[in-house]
Amino acid sequence: MSALMHTYNRLALALSHGEGAWVYDLDGNRYLDALGGIAVCALGHAHPAVSRAICEQAGKLIHTSNIYRIPLQDQLGEALCSHARMDSAFICNSGAEANEAAIKLARLYGNKRGISNPAIVVMEGSFHGRTMATLSATGNRKIQAGFEPLVQGFIRAPYNNSAALQQIAENSRNVVAVLLEPVQGEGGIIVPDEGYLAAVREICDKNGWLMMVDEIQSGMGRTGQWFAWMHEDAHPDVLTSAKALGNGFPVGACLARGDAAEILSPGTHGSTFGGNPLACAAATTVIRTMDEDKLVARAGELGERILNRLRAELADLDGVADIRGRGLMIGVELEHDCAQLMQAGVDAGILLNVTAGKVIRLLPPYILSDEEADLLSEKVCALVTGFLKSVHSAA
């Protein structure tokens, strides 16, 4: 431990293996995984088809570099583009890298149109990653503090406010794109009002801006649609994916359509590891499994089931501010800081997360049975009830 840079305050729990929605610690205790490695393990742990695909491919060919054709990368690009309704893909290794590609693409798009200082509109409360450009795009001062000078060329707008975006359109000449999460994740599971994404699409159309959606957390079926923009049919120009794309194997993608699909060309972008046969075998298997087992619709159903339970038991409690979500992206906002619930969850046999200080964040796998979904809801309700009791008795 001491040989690692102290970039995380970790819980003491160390896990040894998992199966489906369950993980086991070194002493054999089991935990219901309501976090899925932060929206990553959508098919649960040790999924047989994914594990088999990784093992078989690892025995054949792991890496060749992008100097050569990679048929598995072609296959992944096609699968991603058909599911996301996009035209072309750049395959990389993480979410931040996918967003870096999108940011570079937008700048090149602007420069090719004669805009020499292109700006991208980004949102308050957003999260886009930890590299210099993506942390500059992120709407959270804590993530930026100490890393100045930040990357220039971002204009901040309030989320879920199309009038403010319209205002920027009227006042700025150098905007080339908008980058936003269709549901904000780290920001506290913020679901925008109906009509917002469509309004953003319309403003982008009117002004010749690219609409770029960061679907790294909200995509790959989590909200009950393959990608969350599909709830409003606000067809974006650029879409980024990662997290659940490899079910735990590191892989990301930047997808684009129309004019945007033709922007990046040889020499403008690249990655040594990106799109290697192993990552592509994992990701194509994830997509195929979600299709075959109809897991995207299932994520929507499960989300409703869990949300209904949570609302029925918690909504009226003193100390619960809001219960919200879309599919299996669920937030329970309390009126008190509740980071301690992560350890309390471990003690109660459930893995969950707290984000934005007061929001319990649930991002469970889509392979939950009804009984597991109900158990998850029960455990969360018991934790919240116990926590609020202790807060109120201390006050």
Ligand X SMILES: *Cc1c(COP(=O)(O)O)cnc(C)c1O
Active site residue ranges: 127, 214, 243
Q: Binding pattern to ligand X, positions 126-145, x when CB under 6 A?
A: -xxx----------------
> Which residue is associated with the tokens 């679907």?
215
State how far the Cα of 84 lies from the Cα of 167, in Å rounded to an integer: 30
As a 3-state breakdown, the chain gives helix, strand, coil percent values, each rounded to 5, of: 40, 20, 40
* Binding region for ligand X (CB under 6 A) out of 21-29, 79-87, 89-97, 313-321: 89-97
Q: Which residues contact 170 (CB under 8 A, 6 or more apart)?
A: none
DSSP-derived 3-state class of residue 79: helix
110 binds ligand X (CB under 6 A): no
* Binding region for ligand X (CB under 6 A) out of 82-90, 124-132, 277-285, 350-358: 124-132
| 183's tokens | 């549901």
- Shortest distance, CB of residue 98 to ligand X, whole angstroms? 8
DSSP-derived 3-state class of residue 19: strand
Closest of 223, 222, 200 to residue 122, by C-alpha: 200
Specify whether the CB–CB gap between 190 and 183 falls below 8 A. yes
- Shortest distance, CB of residue 221 to ligand X, whole angstroms? 15
Smaller CB distance to ligand X: residue 243 or 324?
243
Specify whether the CB–CB gap between 53 and 281 falls below 8 A. yes
- Shortest distance, CB of residue 126 to ligand X, whole angstroms? 7
Q: What is the DSSP string of 309-374?
A: HHHHHHTTSTTEEEEEEETTEEEEEESS--TTHHHHHHHTTEE-EEETTTEEEE---TT--HHHHH
Smaller CB distance to ligand X: residue 96 or 234?
96
State how far the Cα of 212 lies from the Cα of 196, in Å rounded to an integer: 14
Smaller CB distance to ligand X: residue 127 or 154?
127
Among positions 110, 185, 192, 303, the unique one binding ligand X when judged by CB under 6 A: 185
- 64 DSSP assignment: -
Among positions 36, 79, 90, 94, the unique one binding ligand X when judged by CB under 6 A: 94
Q: What is the DSSP string of 231-265?
A: GTT---SEEEE-GGGGBTB--EEEEE-GGGGGS--
Question: Which parts of 214-253 interact with ligand X (CB under 6 A)?
Answer: 214, 216-217, 242-243
Smaller CB distance to ligand X: residue 33 or 186?
186
Smaller CB distance to ligand X: residue 100 or 232?
100
The count of residues interacting with ligand X (CB under 6 A) is 15
- Shortest distance, CB of residue 343 to ligand X, whole angstroms? 22
Among positions 43, 96, 296, 380, the unique one binding ligand X when judged by CB under 6 A: 96
- Shortest distance, CB of residue 247 to ligand X, whole angstroms? 14
- 143 DSSP assignment: H
Among positions 18, 47, 162, 181, the unique one binding ligand X when judged by CB under 6 A: 181
- 192 DSSP assignment: P
Q: How far out from the chain centre does Cα 64 lie? A: 28
- Shortest distance, CB of residue 103 to ligand X, whole angstroms? 12
Smaller CB distance to ligand X: residue 4 or 67?
4
Smaller CB distance to ligand X: residue 182 or 345?
182
Residue, CB closest to ligand X: 95
- Shortest distance, CB of residue 239 to ligand X, whole angstroms? 12
* Binding region for ligand X (CB under 6 A) out of 122-130, 328-336, 348-356, 359-367: 122-130
List residues binding ligand X (CB under 6 A).
Answer: 94-96, 99, 127-129, 181, 185-186, 214, 216-217, 242-243
